[in-house]
Structure 1
Amino acid sequence: MARIYLLMLIIGVSLTSCGSTVAPTATIAPSTTSVSQAEATATVAPTLEPTTAPIAAITAPITLSEGFAQPEGMLHNQLSDLYLVSNINGTPFGRDDNGYIAQINPDGTLNQAKWIDGASAEVELNAPKGMAIANNTLYVADLDSVRLFDAVSGEVKGTIAISGSSFLNDLVARDDGTVFVSDMGINEAFGSTGTAAIYQIDPAGNVSLAVKLADGNPNGLAMTADGTLLVCRYDTAVEIFELTADGILQPYRKASASQHDGLVVLADQSLLVSSWQTANIHQLMADGSERIIYHGPTGAPADINLDHQRKVLLMPLIMTNQVVLWPLAD
């Protein structure tokens, strides 16, 4: 998420007071309402094959401290075998066009600090957050729009405006090329804008409403092996939710903490979720048990992701302008 914690420090709001104002459960009305589209160039392209480069093992955590400015999201780009890092570079709500995407090599070295740069004349990128790749296209959540880039070259492919949204946060792609994006529905004062929702974008760039939330702040998104969308929320809810076939969010798995941000599904169907309440990453097992696998010294990692090939957790530390590559134990 575009780290709410960071902005709280700026305006002097505590995490506890923010989290306690939101009801712990969501009353959700299913909807199939279409959303108007300002511009979309997300055309279906021949799918490139993921890289088959040799996999080098990372045996100890690697922390990178140079080249980042409020890093919010990370993603393993399997087409280029590089790790992408979205950098807000300012306020999470700012339309300042200076956000950027960095590239990291899997060995933990910086490949390119500003691979995609909002400061470039041809690029508009304000406060980039979650990312996903589908049909060779990189989708980036940016305030009330989703920016599209070629996943290998970084070339601009267009913008999809999400009409009625206010704070787009995370993205995840399904195998069929459908992309989901969450709208936390908050303003700069952390008040509700009434827009909290999850949208879906089909491979042709058409936008529709997947689910509207009456309360709660949808944040991290993840996909199970069978294509079920999972959702975590940045509020007082301790549950991870699933989106049912009839468009309802219902509890899927429970955690011991709330104020969730990033969400990852592991091969054994356990979940990793970052919590700003505890500054931890919690592993939620399928049998209901739980363990802590990481404790953040300064806030929690934001939109975590995973290199499934190397079993390396990708963690952006928005509070310290660092990113961490964290090998998972077997």
Structure 2
Amino acid sequence: MYKFLLLLITALLFSCTPKKSQTPPVDWETVQDTTDMVFTITGLDGPEAVRYDPEQDVYFISNFTGGGTTQDSTGFITKADAEGNILDLKFMAGTSEYPLHAPRGMFIVENTLWAADVLGVHGFDKSTGEQTDFIDFSEFETGFLNDVSANAQGTLFVTDTGTNRVFKVEGSSPSIYLDSLPEAPNGITLNPDNRQFVLAPWGGDQIFRYFSSSDDLGEYATLEGGYFDGIEFLHSNLLAASQQDSSIRYFDGTKSTILIKTTGRPADIGINTNLNHIAVPYIALDRVDIWNLSKQ
């Protein structure tokens, strides 16, 4: 009887233990539009890119302000919570020596948020907003430093859309890693399945390239659309922002289709991995729209 009661109590305790919530499956079959948006973040100034930080459950939003190439020291990075409330409009703004001009793509390595800018790549403490690093690219004739990603070792890779290059940053030293690419690279992201980097083509090109080393460049996929900007992986699916037809497209390894019809030309998207939300910034509209990719 004692053993029976002990087993019964154990079973009751186990059944009462809250189960961990599972992320709902992503609905890849329905083309969403504005009626499916969760919320919109407004009050921005030329938002170019969004990066989600799962540790703090916040979005970082880079703001172009005056323009993409102007050295006017007016750029900043906004911090917003997962519900779209702006916590600090100018959370990151650089320093007097190395100010932000027109920040673009961002990537987080441990506690540092890296952001591409006109003259180089800025590093910020993601918790305090303080600038901690600046990688100076002035020794190179850069065209348009655009997006940032990193490998497991924290080595940065930076696209230059204006010169068809990818730079590599080890420590504080940048170097040309890929040169004379067939397409101008815009977005860059790391494929979680095979640790290869994928590049989004700017302009009218539709071929997405991949690389795992400086002498290994191949074709990953061909997507309809064009003037591709931000790209991210979610559940092995590649999401790509197409400015040519104002859409978010996805590629599952065999087929590609439109997932979302956006209200403007989408720039560098961000993914809330906790909620399966996608954040879509529009430079010209001064706002970021959030869609829920999970089934209701």
TM range (shorter): 0.7 to 0.9
What is residue 94 of structure 1 aligned with on the other side? 70
Counterparts in 2 of 1:1-330, with a 5 A limit?
Answer: 60-66=37-43, 68-117=44-93, 121=96, 124-162=99-137, 163-164=139-140, 165-185=142-162, 195-202=163-170, 204-225=171-192, 226-267=194-235, 269-287=236-254, 289-298=255-264, 300-330=265-295
| Identical columns (%) | 26
CA distance in 2 between partners of 1:122 and 1:143 (Å): 14
Q: Distance in 1 between matches of 2:240 and 2:42?
A: 23
Quick one: structure 1 residues 70 and 251, their matched pair in 2 at CA, closer, same or farther if it must change by over 3 Å? same
CA contact (8 A) 1:76 1:305 kept: yes
Q: Determine if contact 2:196/2:211 at 8 Å carries over to the other structure.
A: yes
Whole-Å Cα distance in 1 between the matches of residues 191 and 182 of structure 2?
A: 25
2:38 partner letter: P
- 2:248 counterpart letter in structure 1: I
Per-residue CA deviation, residues 213-242 of structure 1 (Å, 9 max, x unaligned), is 255311000101132110011122211110
Distance 1:55 1:145, change over 3 A: farther
SS of corresponding position for 1:235: coil
Q: 1:309 to 1:82 in 2, by over 3 A?
A: same
Q: How much has 1:122 moved relative to structure 2? A: 6.5
SS at match of 2:179: strand
Alignment check: 8 A CA contact 2:241 2:269 kept: yes
Q: What secondary structure does 1:319 align onto?
A: coil
CA contact (8 A) 1:144 1:167 kept: no
> What CA RMSD, in Å, does the superposition of the two structures yield over aligned residues?
2.2
Q: Aligned equivalents of 1:266 and 1:56: distance in 2? A: 12
**How far off is 1:205 after superposition?**
2.1
Q: Name the counterpart of 1:21.
A: none
Between 1 and 2, higher relative CO (CA 8 Å, sep ≥ 6) is seen in 1
The answer to whether the Cα contact below 8 Å between 1:230 and 1:240 also exists between their aligned partners in 2 is yes
| Unpaired runs of at least 5, structure 1 | 1-53, 186-194
Spell out, residue by residue over 1:284-326, the C-alpha distance to the aligned partner (whole angstroms, 9 max, x if none): 1212x2221211223x210012111211111111121011121
Aligned mates of 1:307, 1:214 — CA distance in 2:
31
Sort the Cα spacing of 1:214 and 1:117 in 2 relative to 1 into closer, same or farther, 3 A: closer
Give, in whole Å, the separation in 2 of the partners of 1:249 and 1:109.
Answer: 41
Number of residue pairs the alignment of both structures matches: 261
Q: Deviations over 1:54-73 (max 9, x none)?
A: 9999x95211222x000000
Conserved? CA contact 1:134–1:178, under 8 Å:
no
What is the TM-score when the length of structure 2 is the normalising length? 0.82
Q: Which moved more, 1:92-101 or 1:156-165?
A: 156-165
